Amino acid sequence: MKDTTRKIAIASMLAALVCVATMIIKIPSPLKGYINLGDCVVLLSGWLLPPGYSFLAAGVGSALADVFSGYAVYAPVTFAIKGLMAVVAYFAEKC
């Protein structure tokens, strides 16, 4: 049980870090979006946590950043894409 609690705590902290890193530094892109440091933390969560935890950490953090930044309509899609991005990073590291 102790290991599960540790993974949940790390996933929660990474979700908060994804949200903050996504919202703090925004570099506008020509495609009406922006480039941010949140993707670095998304990949980090994939490398540090098992797939389920990393999916939730990356997805929740990115979706919250969308909601707080006024892009709530994109939050569900962002949740799925960033979550899958973390899972792919997990399995890419294992290869």
Residue-wise pLDDT for 4-27, tens only, equals 999 999 999 999 999 999 999 888
Q: Which residues contact 31 (CB under 8 A, 6 or more apart)?
A: none
The tens digit of pLDDT for each residue in 40-86 reads 999 999 999 999 999 999 999 999 999 999 999 999 999 999 999 99
pTM: 0.90
Compute the radius of gyration of the chain from its Cα atoms: 13
Tell me which amino acid residue 67 is. V
Q: What is the DSSP letter of 7?
A: H
CATH code of the domain made up of 2-94:
1.10.1760.20
Give the domain ranges of the chain: 2-94
Q: Which residues contact 95 (CB under 8 A, 6 or more apart)?
A: none
